[in-house]
Amino acid sequence: MPPDSLNHLVAALQDPEVCCASARLIYKNRSESGISTAGAAYWNLEEFIKGLETETVSMIGVDGALFVIERSAYFAPPDELIDDLYVSMKAVLTGKRVVSEPLVKVEERNATRWEEEFRRKARISCQAMRVHRALWSELRKASPIILYCYLSHRLLKWMTPFTLTAAGLCFLAAIILAFGPVVGLGLVIGAFAILMLGAAANLPYFRAVATGLVALTGVGFGVLQALSTKETYATWTPAASVRD
């Protein structure tokens, strides 16, 4: 992190329309494993979207690595909720803007193991859904553009495992109708086996698809946890491979 990072973030608050400024997060172990490669690629897309939001309306939620916020826009989160998303979404709801500061970059290590990525995605999505439920009564009254940004960038992202599952079941039904149940199920099982063998052999495209499936399964599990249990993940324990 550059030594003048806080100066740049505070300078962004000189704009009277801005109440919160966030650093850009970079995962520094991109090439360490298939999981970290896929995670870094996904996060690059997230940062691109946040850049577009900064240039147009307002960033919809910040990463907790480093951000500053005006005291007047800060609302303390309940103990059981993730603070970065809750605090930054409450800031957006004040009517001021939350922005990304491109001059400030912080580095972290990403998880490198399958089981760690699953647990990480489950934790993030579970926490996010709990924040959604806590703030929805306010969010649905926000301006149309803020509501659109929130629904398209945040809520629909957490619903992706379920929409893809529904699409997959429709595709399976179409195959079965076209070729019969034996051939249809055989094709699906064969495709899955080929995918797993390709991922085990560390072939890039197969590895990327398998990694995506692990991440999406974790997201879906976390959403279901939020909807059906009292799990909060109030205490964050970094993955072992991140601490190594």
The enclosing H or E element of 68 equals strand 67-69
Helices (H) and strands (E) in the chain, counts: 9, 3
Query: What number of CA atoms fall less than 13 Å from residue 4's CA on the CB side?
Result: 5
What is the distance between the alpha carbons of residues 62 and 203, in angstroms, rounded to a whole number?
Answer: 34
Inform me whether the pLDDT recorded for 244 exceeds 60: no
Per-domain boundaries in the chain:
5-235
Inform me whether the pLDDT recorded for 60 exceeds 80: yes
- At residue 15, the pLDDT reads 94
Confidence of residue 240 (pLDDT cuts 50, 70, 90): low
Count how many residues are written for the chain. 244
**Parallel/antiparallel/unpaired status of strands 97-108 and 18-27:** parallel
The distance of Cα 212 from the centroid of its chain, to the nearest Å, equals 13
pLDDT (tens digit, 9 = 90+) per residue, 86-121?
999 999 999 999 999 989 998 888 877 888 889 989
Contact 105, 3 (CB under 8 A): no
Comparing C-alpha atoms, which of 122, 23, 125 is closest to residue 65? 23
Q: Name the DSSP letter for residue 67.
A: E
Comparing C-alpha atoms, which of 205, 233, 223 is closest to residue 154? 223
pLDDT (tens digit, 9 = 90+) per residue, 24-58?
998 887 777 777 777 888 889 999 999 999 999 99
Comparing C-alpha atoms, which of 132, 130, 122, 86 is closest to residue 236? 122
Comparing C-alpha atoms, which of 184, 182, 185, 209 is closest to residue 195? 209
What is the distance between the alpha carbons of residues 77 and 127, in angstroms, rounded to a whole number?
Answer: 12
Comparing C-alpha atoms, which of 25, 60, 227 is closest to residue 152? 60
Of 24-38, 159-173, 210-224, the range with the lowest mean pLDDT is 24-38
Confidence of residue 236 (pLDDT cuts 50, 70, 90): low
Q: Whole-prediction pTM value?
A: 0.85
Contacts of 86 (CB under 8 A, 6+ apart): 75, 77, 78, 131, 134, 135
